[in-house]
Structure 1
Amino acid sequence: MLDRLQRARTRVSDLDAQIQRLEVSIAILRAERLVLQEPLDSYTYPVLTLPTEITCEIFLHFLPPYPACPPITGPFSPTILTHVCRTWRDIADATPYLWSRITLSAQELSLDTQIEISDLWIRRSRSRALAIDLQNNQDQNLMGLKSLIAHRLRWERLTLRIPTSTADVPRTDGPMPLLRYLDINSLFHEDSTPLTFLDAPLLRAVVFNYKAAAMIPVPWAQLTSLTLYYIFPHECVPILAQGLNLVHCELRFVFSPEETDVVLNFTLPRLQTLILQDMYHECPSGLLTSFVVPALRTLQIPAWFFGSTPLDDLRAWILKVGCKLQKVHIIGELETSDEALRREFPTIGDLSVRQYADTDWNPFTY
């Protein structure tokens, strides 16, 4: 018994000695750490010495080019800027433009989570005009639109894809004083829709498919840019009759056998850019003659829109409408070279035949 107690006393003494040696070592390490930490604490990273205005401008260049919307989550979301440090978080939170373009397209997040994040972005955007992009999941788009409808006074751009039924589509009637751009792809089966955009005095650019064009009221007369697609030529007549202020027009036609019997006349006195497409290569020749566009400067047109004598047809049409074309791209194939074309039309500076259409001829960004 006495031996066991003696061994315990000896062991405790040894442990006390080890603890004392370790405490001395820890004290030395802490002193060294303090010496090293002082200059680190006093050092300011150069990026944090930038004026707030410069940092804010750098943040704005983090966004994709306008009007594309950044994702609401992930490495390309402005939210990532708030995760770097407190200074960056404060600057990002105080920069409304970072949060003014909203899309609900994060497949990995539930719709409720995306709406919650979009509500936060809207609060951060303060009074900035909003660009809304709802074009991925059609069913989710309606729920997203419902959550954003209360902010329509701030809408500047709206891109929307909606399903076949209008039963759950929220009403959009009411003033939209900032709305400039509207892009809707509709698959409505009903004969009416609660969507209306008549009270939008700044609306200038519209992109509609045939269903949206037939069912959604907009102030056609004030538009300067219009794109209609999957639409029959005769369906364009009542719309273009009101489009006297159009400067840019893109029409992507479909045709039916009855279409050849319809007499068309599209008089657009201010139009400068006309882009014609045929979605299924079914266009009857001679459709170009339906357009009276004396101010036209830019034309993109499929080769099969002409008859058997395309150069003669183009020359006759130019003389008829009196336009002074500066740029003409003919899409498809013609039995003539670009050099021969330029000899035939020496006053057109940019004249060529190409296989594929240009994807972006619209100078208006809105």
Structure 2
Amino acid sequence: MEPTTESAVTSTATEDERYRHNDDLPVHHLPPELLCSVFKYFHRKRAYRGLFIIRSVCKYWLEIVDSSPELWTFISLTHNDNLLDMILQKSKNNLLSIEYDDGRNSFTPEVPREKTTAFLERVIPLVGRWESLHFAGTDHDRVLGLPLQSLETLVISSLLHRTHHAEPLHAPRLRYLDLWGISINWESLSDLCAITINWPAQSPAINQVYLMFNACPRLNVFAIEGRRMSDSGISDLPSAQVFLPHLQYLLLFDVSVASYSRLLSLIDAPNLRRLVVFRGFSPYMDDPDPMFEPAARFFGSYTHSIDSDRDYGRLRISGSRHTFAISVGTCKVVFKSPHIWTWKGDRQDCLTNLSAALSGFDRRVIDSVKVIHFGGTRVREDLITLGPILQHHFPNVEELVVTLSLSERRPDAHLVLEALKSPSSLKGEARWLFPGLTTLHLKACREPICDGVLGVVEARRNGAVQAIQRVSIKNGRIERNTEAKLKVGLQEFRLAGTRYFDTVS
């Protein structure tokens, strides 16, 4: 017997022995429906390697896998012809998930044209069975013009070759749409649950977005991001409210403020959980008016701001050199524009706009805000400049969290404490900042000396305000004698990651 033949016989005998051994295990007697559910749960839909490992355990498992068409529903351009034949045979008439990336619109290796053509010729006749399509390539028209009768999820990417598909989309069961660098016939969309639009070739006009919302009453997520978005469609925007009872996430990145501020005033979304407005600065943008006032309908309302979220009763202020963000509960508004949010220019307009927005907050929200969190690289500017406004609108603040950034210099850290240490001139009279303050958390990331905290505690204890009872310091440096004095005078004092030093006599 030749060695190769002997090895083959030995291998076959070993495999048969393994099969017989595994067939005798108790797992062999589990109902096939149960095993199929287990296989389906643990099987990664996009990787058939695990499925072939399962098939090799025993003949019983092999029979179950091969007779379960729901395990064979994913088709990718990366599959070879043999695997593709097996999938098409074993999937029977089940709905399919199609993945196509030819490398011409991504940083993956480019797939030869012959292979992409052959792949499309095999899967396009099965278009009635497509349930999900992830398509990254240049042949969009070959698939978007098809009758996608069963399609529920559509992800199209064309970032490197932005394009517009003008023909109506025929996908009556479509529920989830994710577009990257491509725009489509917006009027043909209806009854979607999630819409994500990133850098479209042609942004939808604001009246088209309004019509889209009206046509999608079950919409749960709407996210859009782009540049050079115009104000087209404002004149055609209806005045009637659009009711979106299922909308939970509304994410607007670098959109036209003039357009979307009008749209926000028309949206009735009682279950909105997250509103994010990220406004970037660009020389192409000519609408610098803040969006706080229209957004205040959401992040200043009792329904949207007060829930079981961990941010209950917490107002967050954060900023960097050119960024300002404010959030209440789960709703957040972010602006990124040096033209708007540097306090060194025409800051009075900014403060007036912010104050006007805060004035529209629901009284229950105003009463519930007990914590203000300042963070970012402009803590000193934000706390000192915005403090009086926030104090005016939120009189019940008891807790202050100040996070100093890595770039915060030592003098700025001391100025933050000085702002809390003595009364300031507010509207012509001396007033303490946050007179009801009882808890102070200081996170000093660059280790400024935190001994000024003792001065704040002693000054407010002797002033006509509430005494601070609880202090925590994270990182930073503190003198040992200061720590001892704080422990004596406070109900609670905590240190974390703080370095000690002794005064040199």
TM-score with structure 1 setting the length = 0.61
Match of 1:302 in 2: 277
Asked if structure 1 preserves the Cα contact closer than 8 Å seen for 2:196 and 2:223, the reply is yes
Match of 1:325 in 2: 304
Matches within 5 A, 1:142-221: 142-143=116-117, 144-163=119-138, 170=142, 173-186=145-158, 188=161, 197-198=169-170, 200-211=171-182, 213-214=183-184, 219-221=188-190
CA distance in 1, matches of 2:70, 2:47: 14
Match of 2:60 in 1: 87
The alpha carbon displacement at 1:241 in A equals 2.0
The alpha carbon displacement at 1:209 in A equals 2.9
After superposition, the Cα gap between the structure-2 partners of 1:51 and 1:308, relative to the gap in structure 1 and judged at 3 Å, is closer
Residues 91-134 of structure 1 deviation map (CA, whole Å, 9 limit, x = unaligned): 100111111123334xxxxxxx5243123112211121112222
After superposition, the Cα gap between the structure-2 partners of 1:236 and 1:207, relative to the gap in structure 1 and judged at 3 Å, is farther
The alpha carbon displacement at 1:182 in A equals 1.3
Match of 1:245 in 2: 215
The alpha carbon displacement at 1:44 in A equals 1.4
Residues 142-192 of structure 1 deviation map (CA, whole Å, 9 limit, x = unaligned): 4433321111111111111113x66xx635645433211211113556766
CA distance in 1, matches of 2:326, 2:168: 48
1:314 equivalent in alignment to 2:295:
yes
Residues 319-366 of structure 1 deviation map (CA, whole Å, 9 limit, x = unaligned): 9xx995367999964576858x999554699999999xxxxxxxxxxx
CA distance in 2, matches of 1:96, 1:56: 10
Residues 288-307 of structure 1 deviation map (CA, whole Å, 9 limit, x = unaligned): 33332113422321364895
Match of 2:34 in 1: 54
Residues 196-250 of structure 1 deviation map (CA, whole Å, 9 limit, x = unaligned): 641x322222222342x23x68831333432211146554543542441322342
The alpha carbon displacement at 1:135 in A equals 3.8
CA distance in 2, matches of 1:85, 1:238: 57
**2:243 alignment partner, one of 259, 263, 269:** 269
Matches within 5 A, 1:24-43: none
After superposition, the Cα gap between the structure-2 partners of 1:46 and 1:249, relative to the gap in structure 1 and judged at 3 Å, is closer
After superposition, the Cα gap between the structure-2 partners of 1:274 and 1:218, relative to the gap in structure 1 and judged at 3 Å, is same
Match of 1:70 in 2: 46
CA distance in 2, matches of 1:173, 1:309: 38
**1:137 alignment partner, one of 103, 113, 127:** 103
CA distance in 2, matches of 1:173, 1:304: 35
User: Is there any run of 5+ residues in structure 1 with no aligned partner, and where?
Assistant: 1-36, 106-112, 356-366
CA distance in 1, matches of 2:22, 2:325: 75
After superposition, the Cα gap between the structure-2 partners of 1:222 and 1:309, relative to the gap in structure 1 and judged at 3 Å, is closer
Match of 2:196 in 1: 227
CA distance in 2, matches of 1:175, 1:337: 44
Match of 1:259 in 2: 230
Asked if structure 2 preserves the Cα contact closer than 8 Å seen for 1:302 and 1:331, the reply is no
Asked if structure 2 preserves the Cα contact closer than 8 Å seen for 1:146 and 1:170, the reply is no
CA distance in 2, matches of 1:238, 1:142: 35
After superposition, the Cα gap between the structure-2 partners of 1:180 and 1:133, relative to the gap in structure 1 and judged at 3 Å, is same
Read off the aligned partner of 2:34 and give its amino acid letter.
I
CA distance in 2, matches of 1:354, 1:132: 47
Query: Which stretch has the larger CA shift, 95-104 or 330-339?
Result: 330-339
Which structure shows the bigger proportion of residues in helix conformation? 1
Higher Cα radius of gyration = 1
After superposition, the Cα gap between the structure-2 partners of 1:131 and 1:323, relative to the gap in structure 1 and judged at 3 Å, is farther
Read off the aligned partner of 1:102 and give its amino acid letter.
I
1:293 equivalent in alignment to 2:267:
yes
Identity %: 16
User: Is there any run of 5+ residues in structure 2 with no aligned partner, and where?
Assistant: 1-16, 105-109, 281-287, 333-357, 376-505
Asked if structure 2 preserves the Cα contact closer than 8 Å seen for 1:103 and 1:134, the reply is yes
The alpha carbon displacement at 1:286 in A equals 7.6
CA distance in 1, matches of 2:102, 2:88: 20
Is the partner of 1:251 in helix, strand or coil? strand
CA distance in 2, matches of 1:131, 1:222: 21
The answer to which structure, 1 or 2, has the higher relative contact order (CA under 8 A, 6+ apart) is 1
CA distance in 1, matches of 2:22, 2:196: 59
CA distance in 2, matches of 1:136, 1:332: 42
Is the partner of 1:54 in helix, strand or coil? helix
The alpha carbon displacement at 1:86 in A equals 1.8
Asked if structure 1 preserves the Cα contact closer than 8 Å seen for 2:271 and 2:304, the reply is yes
Is the partner of 1:137 in helix, strand or coil? coil
Match of 1:119 in 2: 85
After superposition, the Cα gap between the structure-2 partners of 1:172 and 1:123, relative to the gap in structure 1 and judged at 3 Å, is farther
Aligned residues, how many?
Answer: 289
